[in-house]
Structure 1
């Protein structure tokens, strides 16, 4: 069984970080404790290790993450031989491996290493580490035939040196050649060969990286602006109309600092969205006057304006040799890289080959990974009514880069595009609709008027109602133009779900609409219901909440063992509140005899085996409950918040259940990650066919 995966190459410039990040993503889905080891390092910070450590919340000491620096390794090899070098690196590796379930090994980079036969060293290290190998071949500026030959040669080289090759990865091929190369490689090797196209956004430096590299001074701009990718460079020296014609989306304008007309014109074009630019770079250490800078700031707030000392020609030489890198300061590049990896690599096949030891623990990160993977497996369209909200736009950026689902954003089109450009958010692939001007408005008005005719709603009144983004989004779901909706980051719960009650309505087998939270604890996921919708459900409603919650839990990989919570356990207590829970428990047993359920039961007896052994010995639920049903909203809402804040749990939800089609509400304090998770959950809910869900 593989305990480590060694990602390596055959030459420099293969963009291997994309593959290393992708493999790390796969490993963290499978196990809780993943270590990272780089046998040889250059002087200075290891940016990829810092990215992995930040993104995957690694507790690993950075000092343990590498073996030797290249200078020391070269000296040892020259003076004492390769065997001594390998021996020292193996010792360092095992010092890491004993503390982790699996280790990702980052091979040498073939760049100014002064090590003879570097490929053979990587192969030997992989063998000594007991690691399986994923070799990466760079395909940039190569023909499809040369790539095919190089991949076959690389496989033979590593296989011939005794390596256990899991798969071959070709990276950075010309996008137009990608399908042809993949087709020509298929079936030619005994292992899978995955082909990834070149993505300009990954190689493009961010404005922050350019500023750092050139020693520039930021005159204007915020963190979002500095995080934008400079996809191209346009050098300004001509008159303004000619410059405007040369601008391309994501370009950085490079101009002498005394050309105030070009600075103002470029930023005005960005403000108008024709096209959005990355920023402006001023050369010759010339800076516009204070009045021009104030105007520029008003025209395009947040867009960077950076001054450097060099002239245009030496600056150009520096810029064209600069390549963007993945690091902890470029989270958008990481999302792009993962999206690319997950789109072109059969991750299920590769993970099966890795055979990393499965963990019985389910950490919050593992649960979140599973959500994205499950949503991506059968992509659905989710409508986001709050299209002008910054957090929603940032979440949309992540969802689109990762290919989690298709998106529709609602709101004024130009306002959304401008806000996205100011934030450096890429909405490529998203549909943007303004309910006020959409051709769908009349159709939706007629549909809503028909649904609400019994309430006296006319088409004229409906025409005004459906212009509201939440009503418009709900009607998109009802009419089959979207599969689900997520709102609530700036709207109340009532404003979000009232349209769903009026339009989508409940499933035939659901008495009420209720909700659950997925409570991600350190080592497991619990399902809490109902903590958001029903204030004081009666016994029949409580039974309905329990059965719905069990279905939802199973849908997301949590085996349902239901605890009907009360202030007493078993037959120890009496009273109206306990009797309600006892009756609800019996109703569930009658309706769904296949479900494991216990109630009434106290929280400690539900989740703690030692307490359960005393209070309810022999119960198949007590001590190991996974679905906890609270008797009323007051108890449920306070409990989930107490656990969230005091135990450091991640609360994902509320997830609504009981509707014919999925609509979910966000907390108005929702973070970007919360929105991403909720959208993924909504997409997964939509994957169940409506007919089946209604049964």
Structure 2
């Protein structure tokens, strides 16, 4: 039976979309098939609702599992003619159809923004009851005192009880940050004992973006940057002389000025191009006035957008002040901030204990990646990112911080990092910035490096020089426990990332070789491929070592290890040096780890397809259901993972390095922001189960020329 949760606003401006998004993220990790339904949508097209579109993108839902019902205009027309039952009937029909494809459906009610909030409340309560949904009530505490918020919760509970609704929980949203403790200590759960959660107003969510402001103003972009995703942190109307104006300007402020004030335009541009002055989010020229022709060439190089609008300065400022940010816009940083806030303030286990959900039968790519974030967050770790001059690293760091995944240290020139972040509108608050060249840790690290590399002739002077390089400094932070792991490689080679780790982090005791895996996320399951990135021609002992390490990595990420030692031959059907190597490696794995399920030599089709396995290896417990695929050499592994990725649409996460005493992971130089986020989460999870207590082993040096 499908479970339904009705997210119902109890006050205007509740911010219920944040609640719908957080709830969907939580449910997606506990059920195979979630759905999202808005019985009544704003606008003229029920199929084009922004929140429905966001849910489709965020959770890979098709139109059978995320849809709108009717428009607000249609609903009001039906209510005006006394046909309220028709609204219910249409909603129940759509919900029932969706239930055929969903295990759980989140239903989002109306916003209570109409003229009669009581009518809307009655409508939402009736729909929740007719759909058979539990109600998740959302109360806005914006501009309320703690006492007023507590009273609003009591009123909401009483009204839902009178409406015979089944209450799941109450969310107090948009509370003043300094009132959180008082609200939490005074709010009552009522006779039902249902939980009450309190979420603060968060500027990262409530501040509109430049895109939202420009859309509200119907503004025309006439010069400057075309990036519109920066948050507008404040408004500055330039009605004073330039000196006083610059004194009040701050990062992220939107500057509103008449189109004939060339002095303010030039001063704003000069501020943005100077390292010592703030960078505004945008410049809006009012009154339909065109700038002096000599100003246009300067504005063309502005690192912020320059808009022109017809209304005067006062009217424009008023309209900008009324713009509300909407999570439904899908702005990535706001979504990250919303999910991070939910994770910190809501006890998911308590909230979901009343929902009986079927256990997920498949592992989709989206679920795997969502669970990565949740697992990383569950035991907080600190990860260092040495490439602070790469804009992708900074964007990923902001996303990770907003989602509250882990603590971060970013390396590089602090001034250069802050200038780059300011220009790009990236918020680095809460992220530690360290310049290796200026850090007091440099001398400590140099002394340790010289000690560890004395046998290679490294003296202290050379060690001091080496420790100015980000990858060496970051790796030493990991080695000495200043951080828990490192992720690098967005702007450097794999050798640059791995070499320092091979030099002094070394491998875990009993591990002979540093290797790698890709976690391949297929449509319905996750597989592990190794080694596809590090070792060109492993011998039989190294191949066995890679297989065991890959099985341990699989188990670490919730994949039951069943190892297929791949070859061009299955069982005893073929012979030759390459097949014999795989056969001996398989026997080594069995002798070293008799607890692991392993089969080899075996061809890929027999390892992956149950029907082929039934004819080729009918007695095998691995054939047809392998989860860990070990390739005989780098050429085979690298080409295979890329072929599967490109031909099947599988998501390849990695490479994930394994065998080191402490977690260090490499990025592709073509990585995306999402790749960086996922790799940091993986590294944090590896750090949670760090087993580096033993003495280091001498690291095997792959034939890529990395020095050990």
TM-score range, shorter chain: over 0.9
The 1:47/1:335 distance shift into structure 2, 3 A limit, reads same
TM-score for both structures, normalised by structure 2: 0.94
| 2:17–2:328 contact (8 Å) kept in structure 1 | no
| 1:269–1:276 contact (8 Å) kept in structure 2 | yes
1:76 equivalenced with 2:78 (yes/no): yes
Comparing 591-600 and 367-376, the one that deviates more: 591-600
Q: How many angstroms does 1:469 deviate by?
A: 1.1
Q: How many angstroms does 1:180 deviate by?
A: 2.0
Q: How many angstroms does 1:273 deviate by?
A: 5.4
Distance 1:489 1:322 in 2: 37
1:198 equivalenced with 2:172 (yes/no): no
Distance 1:113 1:530 in 2: 64
Query: Given the alignment, which residue of 89, 92, 103 partners 1:90?
Result: 92
The residue that corresponds to 2:702 in the other structure is: none
The residue that corresponds to 2:652 in the other structure is: 651
Query: Given the alignment, which residue of 263, 269, 278 partners 1:261?
Result: 263
Q: How many angstroms does 1:497 deviate by?
A: 0.5
Q: How many angstroms does 1:24 deviate by?
A: 1.6
The residue that corresponds to 2:416 in the other structure is: 415
The residue that corresponds to 1:567 in the other structure is: 568
| 2:373–2:405 contact (8 Å) kept in structure 1 | yes
| 2:49–2:68 contact (8 Å) kept in structure 1 | no
The residue that corresponds to 1:682 in the other structure is: 683
The residue that corresponds to 2:150 in the other structure is: 148
Gaps of 5+ in 2: 697-708
Q: Secondary structure at the match of 1:444?
A: helix
Q: How many angstroms does 1:80 deviate by?
A: 4.3
Q: Secondary structure at the match of 2:333?
A: helix
Distance 1:694 1:365 in 2: 38
Distance 1:354 1:409 in 2: 41
| 1:47–1:326 contact (8 Å) kept in structure 2 | no
Q: Secondary structure at the match of 2:486?
A: strand
Distance 2:82 2:656 in 1: 62
Q: Secondary structure at the match of 1:354?
A: coil
The residue that corresponds to 2:68 in the other structure is: 66
The C-alpha deviation readout for 1:291-348, integer Å capped at 9, x for no partner, is 43433444x42x1121212211111221222211123452222112111112211233
Distance 2:282 2:384 in 1: 31
| 1:29–1:365 contact (8 Å) kept in structure 2 | no
The residue that corresponds to 1:534 in the other structure is: 535
Distance 1:49 1:96 in 2: 14
Distance 2:419 2:636 in 1: 44
The residue that corresponds to 1:460 in the other structure is: 461
Distance 2:354 2:468 in 1: 51
| 2:28–2:367 contact (8 Å) kept in structure 1 | yes
The C-alpha deviation readout for 1:240-259, integer Å capped at 9, x for no partner, is 22112212332111122222
Q: Secondary structure at the match of 1:166?
A: strand
The residue that corresponds to 1:135 in the other structure is: 137
| 1:363–1:523 contact (8 Å) kept in structure 2 | yes
| 1:379–1:404 contact (8 Å) kept in structure 2 | yes
Comparing 524-533 and 72-81, the one that deviates more: 72-81
The C-alpha deviation readout for 1:50-85, integer Å capped at 9, x for no partner, is 2222222322169x7222223322333343443343
The residue that corresponds to 1:280 in the other structure is: 283
Comparing 551-560 and 3-12, the one that deviates more: 3-12
The residue that corresponds to 1:393 in the other structure is: 394
The residue that corresponds to 1:519 in the other structure is: 520
The residue that corresponds to 1:13 in the other structure is: 13
The 1:74/1:216 distance shift into structure 2, 3 A limit, reads closer
Q: Secondary structure at the match of 1:268?
A: helix
Q: Secondary structure at the match of 1:523?
A: coil
Comparing 365-374 and 228-237, the one that deviates more: 228-237
Distance 2:609 2:657 in 1: 28
Q: How many angstroms does 1:692 deviate by?
A: 6.1
1:55 equivalenced with 2:55 (yes/no): no
CA RMSD of aligned residues (A): 2.0
The 1:284/1:174 distance shift into structure 2, 3 A limit, reads same
Distance 1:444 1:361 in 2: 46
The 1:691/1:105 distance shift into structure 2, 3 A limit, reads same
Comparing 496-505 and 333-342, the one that deviates more: 333-342
Q: Secondary structure at the match of 1:543?
A: helix
The residue that corresponds to 1:242 in the other structure is: 244
Distance 1:308 1:81 in 2: 44
Distance 2:396 2:523 in 1: 24
Name the count of aligned residue pairs: 691
Q: How many angstroms does 1:667 deviate by?
A: 0.9
1:172-183 to structure 2, matched below 5 A, reads: 172-183=174-185
Q: Secondary structure at the match of 1:38?
A: strand
The C-alpha deviation readout for 1:575-617, integer Å capped at 9, x for no partner, is 2212211111121112211111111111111111111111111
Gaps of 5+ in 1: none
Distance 1:127 1:278 in 2: 46
